[in-house]
Amino acid sequence: MTRLLTPGTVLRRRYKIIAPVGRGGMGAVYRAEDLRLQGRICAIKEVRPDPDATPEALAQAQEQFRREAFTLARLDHPNLPKVSDTFTERRREYLVMDFVEGRDLRQVVEEHRRREEFLDESEVLHWADQLCDALEYLHSQEPPVLHRDIKPANIKLTPGGLIKLVDFGLVKLLATDDSRTITVLQGRGTIAYTPLEQYGGDTGHTDVRSDIYSLGATLYHLLTNRPPADARQRFLDPHSLVLPREINPRISPTTERAILTAIAMHPDQRPPTVAAFREMLHAASLPSPLVPLVPARGEWARAWRENRPLLLVTGTLLILAVLATLR
């Protein structure tokens, strides 16, 4: 694996590396100081070339990176980090963006899991609204932009309570001609949050419903302290998905149904847009076309456990009423 940049390294005679904050097989992200704007701290994403790639493949990858950079640079939304610069140095590509202070939601949910507590549903739904705002903005671009790697680790909670959707390493532009996607940077996402159609990599047919799946899987994790069974496992064993309320009975039926619809295996069974998913999250009752075919395993037992006292009282009253009519 290629070495990380050492603290103190200056890129483009402007950005001084402070420390790495994340790394992967083909790159890393650094915290850096902007030497031209005193006091500004930024995040720098580094993409390293594939050492086995042909010159043609390297040129294509460079063009893809620049396309991603130009796409992200035009975005301006409070729940997205702002991209400010892009450049090439030492045969590596760099993307400069705002450094987002705060913890990611993976850290937040892990803290609650260790304490054997669940996050409050109203708080999670407040975060979900902000994520929906960001995704609706991305999907409304021309052409639409797909994130393709929504997960708790890529969502920052700032000290002021603002949610930021970060890490656009798998961003895609959605072609306007036939609803297929054009790869900007290759990647397949993180398995627990990745829909089945995204497993195809560059050949997979993804659209806005792929982001909806990832968002639904993320909300599942935040409310249950564990990620859902991944799409491949569910394809092999449809009963592998545990219903959210079996793990956390405090989740409302409406929220559970919205999440299960979002993570439906086939895209046609999911909400068609982020706006439709948001409506499901806040709906008092769900329209029948959006109700998915959810496994009924455990439903009757769970209903009995939750309503046992009421059912016993109701049953007793019914028996007394019948006996009274027989006298």
Which residues is 183 bridged to in the sheet? 172
Query: CA angle, corner 212, sides to 208 and 213, nearest 5?
Result: 115
Which residues is 86 bridged to in the sheet? 95
Residue 88: strand, helix, or coil = strand
Among residues 178, 177, 214, 222, the alpha carbon closest in space to that of 198 is found at 214
| Tokens at 96, concatenated | 């400069």
Residue 224 near residue 244 (C-beta atoms within 8 A): yes
Query: What is the H or E stretch that residue 310 is in?
Result: helix 299-326
Residue 185: strand, helix, or coil = coil
| Residue 149 bears catalytic tag | yes
- Sheet containing strand 181-183, edge to edge, reads 145-146, 172-174, 181-183
Query: CA angle, corner 26, sides to 22 and 32, nearest 5?
Result: 40
Distance CA 61, CA 45 (A): 15
| Tokens at 271, concatenated | 């909400």
Enumerate the H helices of 153-238 as residue ranges. 208-224, 231-236
Q: Could you say which of 34, 104, 149, 230 is catalytic?
A: 149
Query: What is the H or E stretch that residue 74 is in?
Result: none
CA 304, 310, 314, 316 dihedral sign is positive
Residue with tokens 């903005």: 137
| Tokens at 5, concatenated | 């940049």
Distance CA 231, CA 49 (A): 30
Catalytic positions are 149
